[in-house]
Amino acid sequence: MSSVKVFMTSVVGFALLVGATAQADAQPASGAPNATTTLNGLQLPPPPQPFGGNIDTLAGDSTQWWPPRVVPPAEAPNVLLIITDDSGWGIPSTFGGVIPHPTMDALAADGLSFTSIHSTSLCSPTRAALITGRNHHNVGFGVISEQSTGYPGYNSIITEDKATVGRILLDNGYNTSWFGKDHNTPAFEASQSGPFDQWPTGMGFEYFYGFVGGDANQWQPNLFRNTTQIYPFDGKPGWNLMTAMADDAIDWITRMHQIDPSKPFFVKFAPGATHAPHHPTKEWVDKISAMHLFDDGWNKLQETIFENQKNMGLFPKDAKITPWPTDYIKNWDQLTDVEKKLFIRQVDVFAAYSAYMDDEIGRVVQALKDIGEYENTLIIYINGDNGTSAEGGMLGTPNEVAYFNGINAIPAEEQMKWYDVWGTEATYNHMAVGWTWAFDTPYPWMKQIASQLGGIRQNMTVTWPAKITDKGGRRDQFLHVIDVVPTILDVAGIVPPQTVDGITQAPMDGKSFAYLFDKANASAAPPRDTQYFEMFGQWGLWQDDWFLATKVNRAPWDAFGAANEDPLNNQVFELYNLKTDPTQTTDIAAENPDKVRDLKETFIREATRYQVFPLDASVGPRVAAPRPNITAGRDEFVYTRPMTGLPQGDSPSILNSSYAITAELTVPEGGAEGMILTSGGRFAGYGFYLLDGKPVFLWNLVDLDRIKWEGKEALTPGKHTLEFDFKYDGLGAGTLAFNNMSGVGRPGTGTLKVDGELVDTRKMEKTIPIILQWDEAFDIGSDTLTGVNDADYKPPFPLTAKLDKLTIKVDRPKLSEADIAKLKAATQKASD
């Protein structure tokens, strides 16, 4: 019988795209079912592998050949990348703080402590830099996504030419996962309609368990597994996300390992701690309170931390710190007894949250030991994505959402009604800024401030028992979070790809610091000599231990004041020599004008290179500024069936506008109750519902006041039309384009009608100007997570009437030419 032979295809072209096979001493024959190969990094994913067997007309006369499975290089470690939230340099005990961090302490003793790694001064920008190895503006995260604007450096979109560490490791044979905080998905792409390419699972992380936005109620979070919202806390009093995410990470790590012990894994572990709300368990609050760490106040706390740091050899004995900023923050002895009592409660809860977090991280580390993978796991534990947060304001707050709406000075006496429930599900709490300043010891300032080390300098530990032999060593070289990805790839033996999905990759901005793992290189030069910093128009430039800084011209708790119109030039410049002045205390700009000029020119060069321009110093107005979402350009929304979980960034916004909400219902025999429509929750939002059969429309004004419109009679069985109409008195959000808040949060009058008959009317003297509670959703037909008024109902409060149709019409104010002229004049006057 004649046959047609198909001979082995040449594999020369493919060989250029793969490296030597793994485990060469026991490598199966080419084409065997268990054959493996490594990639050389040129192209991800690699092209289809050419068939290496031979094919005849009959299987018996042919030779099978299986494409080899891609694996990392033989000694590539597992990676556990931990980054905590809003945690300053002086918080962990590992670096002189008073809050116990035994997990971090132990990792430092078994590895290396790094004292000079830097962030961007804000959370999601730091995280974008961390997962890509590029500067934050270079990957679209000049600010958080909730403040994004339509410029390449600020649109919160990580473009396809900047693949994440998850994608690179995934295509090179790793299992990849992400637990906890995301905040790198654009707020306008967070709904279930997608797209999902900017979600963790779309950026190379095979498994995601966490929350998408910037913060989350730890008792009832807006939680996702991959891209599906889940509610594992329902019916489980005392459930807390910090423990749950550790449980889930341990489960995932264990499953991956027992399925294939030879396959390394990458875990990004990103707790919500210690970002507000501070939600530890009662056990931890009791434990920290019993230690009486803070009874002597924040001035004494700063002194204690600094003395600890000097005793540990972290700073010279003659080192100084910036004097207490009495222009902004009172000394402890100037406070009232009520303030002292409240503030100690606030910080006890904060510290408990931090200690609780470290303990849960310890359980994840123990899981590595339990499966025998601790020795071969690179554990990078970064304390903070920026300095400690001051977003609680001068007095702290029981509700962080109030801060984001410009309310950050609730009197201590009023806050005391939350004293006993501080940190529980009844609060969305934050602490007073005196603690914030102390927790950034020895550096000045805090989160949001990119020109001061308190905002940008972090510390970390790196542990890899199989390779790092300088146990307990310390490294003081200047590093940045952009250096983390190059380091991971370096130790794994993986080359950054030239193309991913056919798209040429931009070079990484970071440099590997793996050479510092060697004790012989303990005093080696840092991996770079220049790094810029910028956030909200305040900026800095580090070069060879010189640091050019703009003087702080906006305190972080002042988000709604007039913005600097020329943040490049309208600055007071400070200059520091960090080699001789490691704590940034002595400004020498006046003595070195040439150096100031040269460093400013370098900043302009770096800013041009990395998409920092145009500079924008506005803060609050950017939260409310228009941006793309699925509601953009629409003023009418129609719904005909229940729907839950639509995030704020993708739902109809009725803030600073007139609007009409019409619900057409069919009430069954026996009457009806339940939620028709709600957006937000316990800490800010609105709800339209039936209570004891009566229609109610309620505005929750950041949990400080609630305005209610209510019908007098329960709806009878049959069809009904309910209408809530609101007439807004202000100019609207358009004033924000001129950095002017006058158009938002203005009064308005609401009317409630049943079947065309007016049943209630009421004027609101104040309205919510900026945001609703952004970890809550827009829900129709029931209420997920927390309710807008606990006194009326408990979620889910399903609607027992039939929803026939729900219509929302929004009439957003439009600025007249005269309005624009006045706003421009006001802007000019403010900048003069």
pLDDT one-digit tens code per residue, 402-452? 988 988 899 999 999 999 999 999 999 999 999 999 999 999 999 999 999
Residue 620: the pLDDT is 80
Residue 229: the pLDDT is 95
Q: Specify the pTM.
A: 0.95
Tallying the residues shown for the chain, one arrives at 832
Distance CA 320, CA 584 (A): 9
Residue 27: the pLDDT is 67
Query: Is residue 12 scored above 70 in pLDDT?
Result: no
pLDDT digits (tens, 9 = 90+) for 183-220: 999 998 998 888 999 999 999 999 999 999 999 999 99
Distance CA 10, CA 515 (A): 39
Q: Which among 606, 797, 621, 774 is positioned nearest to 135, based on CA atoms?
A: 606
Beta-strand pair 112-118/457-463: antiparallel
> Which pLDDT band, with edges at 50, 70 and 90, does 26 fall under?
low
Count CA within 13 A, CB hemisphere, residue 516: 28
Query: Is residue 91 scored above 70 in pLDDT?
Result: yes
Scan for tokens 């807004």, then name that residue. Answer: 728
Contact yes or no for 216/775 (Cβ under 8 A): yes
- Percentage with pLDDT > 90 across the chain: 89
pLDDT digits (tens, 9 = 90+) for 123-179: 999 999 999 999 999 999 999 999 999 999 999 999 999 999 999 999 999 999 999
- Average pLDDT score over the chain: 94
pLDDT digits (tens, 9 = 90+) for 263-313: 999 999 999 999 999 999 999 999 999 999 999 999 999 999 999 999 999
Longest Cα separation, the chain: 103
Residue 51: the pLDDT is 94
Distance CA 143, CA 615 (A): 11
> Which pLDDT band, with edges at 50, 70 and 90, does 625 fall under?
confident
- In 771-810, which positions are buried (b, 16+ CB within 10 angstroms) versus exposed (e)? bbbbbbbbbbbbbbbbbbbeebbebbbebebebeebebbb
